[in-house]
Structure 1
């Protein structure tokens, strides 16, 4: 099967998580850079990565990469790339761009030149002067970084955080990809109880349910590259069949989502139903100060208000202090909190075991991780033949 070079783009700070996901799908070696993970695979990787990657923003097909410091250089080198190998005669191929620390800093000019070069390239192959662009979509990106131009085509369409279940959102939504990353970074296992005391529209508990039962995040949505003739329909059918074969629908889960807002809990329940995991999550109206449990060795993962989003700093700092007092009683649990408050540990009353810098949208945040004790080992089980 044809080999392709793919780029899984990532939110800053999540590149290593995306790289682990790519390798878990059987692809590698991977090249990890700021905001992206590059790897080579056969063409069937386009369906599989789009369906399975939980933490990547999108999957791009790399067409070429070269140094360009003049518009002539950008034009000629773009024109020389094998565009007709991918773009059909009736294809629609808009161009978007970005430029960072490059001589060619005018993004509109770069986009126009790349568009013209692709047209000239396609003219040669298809022997025509005009393209109606009424067919499949091939969104091209020209990304310039330190005078190196990378030309790609988007294979995903809407970003991979668009799982298809969150038609309704709350006031301060967390992207599904970030929620999944928070869970994966925690190393939570499905046999442990899971709680989110600030569940909002339900994103974190829903992502936990999908991870817990190994349900592919892209199972219920479509991708732009499904319309590309070059990717065999059998590749998509087989990739989608694999998502059903590998799902563990019989995996028992104990997932709890609580919030103070009855209306937003209605949204959470609706979203969970759309995701097909409503029977796996118990949503309940509860103040974080009232959180109690007799269960041991659980995981509490949450995205509480930051202050700049939903309230004032003094109110939020007070709430973080109340969280610290409440969670202290859950002394066998592990806690994972994302917030932009750099004094969170001081307010919470405890130093994190580990913290990781991330970006929630455009907000710089830290992911505070408080590790609880390991549960005691169970009795040794002798395997049967």
Structure 2
């Protein structure tokens, strides 16, 4: 089967997480750079990575890479690439671009030149002067970094965070890819309870349920490259069949999400139904100071309000106080909190076991990780106390 070079793009700070996911799928020729993970695989990797990658932004097919300091170099070397191997006669191929620390800094000019070069290349193959571009989508990117031009085609279409279940969203939603990364970084195990005290529209609990039952995040959506004639339909059928074969639908999970806003919890419940994991998550209106459990070991993973405005600080101080009290009560639990507040450790009265710099959209945040002790190999099952029973 034909070998292809693929690039899984990643939010800053998540490259290593994406690389680990790629390796878990069986692809070992992996190179990690800022914002991307590059690997070589056969054609079946296009459907498999789109269906399975939880933390990547999208999957791009690398067509070529070369140095370009003049527009002539950009044109000629782009024209020489094997575009007709991928783009059919009716293919739609818009071009977008970016340029960082490069001689060719005008992105619009670079896009126009790449477009023209591809047209000239396709003219030679299809023996025609005009392309209507009414067929499948092949969105091309020309990326210039320090005078190195990388030409890729997007195989995903809408970003991979578009799982298909979040038809309704609450205020300040957390991206699905980042939520999944928080869970993977925590090393949460499906046999342990997971609690999100600020669940909002339910993204962290839902992503945890998908991970816990090994449900492929792209199972219920479509991808741009599904319409590409060059990729055999059988590869997509096999890849989708694999997602069903490997899903652990019968695995029972204990995932709890609470919030003080009943309206946003209705959104969370709706989204859980859309993701078909509503049986695995219990949502309840409740403040942090109201919740307790007799579970001796568990994971708290949260994305609390950041309090970017001064007017929000008093409310945030009360929230921190409640979280600090809960951390003291659950001293054998592991706590994972994403926040932009650099004073968070001081507010908790503890130094994090580990801190990881990430970005939530354009906001620089830290993922504070407070590791609890490992549980013994065997432990009795204790029913929850004040922890609400699933309805």
TM-score by length of 1: 0.97
Q: Note if contact 1:318-1:347 (Cα within 8 Å) is conserved in structure 2.
A: no
CA RMSD of aligned residues (A): 1.1
- 312-321 or 138-147: bigger deviation: 312-321
How many residues end up aligned between the 2 structures? Answer: 379
Distance (whole Å) between structure 2 residues aligned to residue 174 and residue 377 of structure 1: 34
Matched residue, 1:238 = 238
For residues 1-385 of structure 1, the aligned pairs below 5 Å read 1-308=1-308, 312-378=312-378
Distance (whole Å) between structure 1 residues aligned to residue 11 and residue 151 of structure 2: 20
Distance (whole Å) between structure 1 residues aligned to residue 310 and residue 136 of structure 2: 42
- SS of corresponding position for 1:112: helix
- SS of corresponding position for 1:121: helix
- SS of corresponding position for 1:49: helix
Distance (whole Å) between structure 1 residues aligned to residue 145 and residue 231 of structure 2: 30
Structure 1 unaligned runs (5+)?
380-385
The 1:320/1:19 distance shift into structure 2, 3 A limit, reads same
TM-superposed CA distance for 1:124, in Å, is 0.3
Distance (whole Å) between structure 1 residues aligned to residue 165 and residue 108 of structure 2: 35
Structure 2 unaligned runs (5+)?
380-391
TM-superposed CA distance for 1:378, in Å, is 2.2
Distance (whole Å) between structure 2 residues aligned to residue 246 and residue 209 of structure 1: 15
- SS of corresponding position for 1:190: coil
TM-superposed CA distance for 1:154, in Å, is 0.1
Q: Note if contact 1:321-1:349 (Cα within 8 Å) is conserved in structure 2.
A: no
TM-superposed CA distance for 1:313, in Å, is 2.8
Q: Deviations over 1:33-78 (max 9, x none)?
A: 0000000000000000000000000000000000000001000000
TM-score by length of 2: 0.96
Q: Note if contact 1:305-1:311 (Cα within 8 Å) is conserved in structure 2.
A: no
- 177-186 or 308-317: bigger deviation: 308-317
Distance (whole Å) between structure 2 residues aligned to residue 310 and residue 173 of structure 1: 21
TM-superposed CA distance for 1:325, in Å, is 1.4
Distance (whole Å) between structure 1 residues aligned to residue 291 and residue 73 of structure 2: 62
Distance (whole Å) between structure 1 residues aligned to residue 100 and residue 291 of structure 2: 47
TM-superposed CA distance for 1:29, in Å, is 1.7
The 1:96/1:103 distance shift into structure 2, 3 A limit, reads same
Q: Note if contact 1:172-1:310 (Cα within 8 Å) is conserved in structure 2.
A: no
Q: Note if contact 1:57-1:161 (Cα within 8 Å) is conserved in structure 2.
A: yes
The 1:310/1:121 distance shift into structure 2, 3 A limit, reads farther
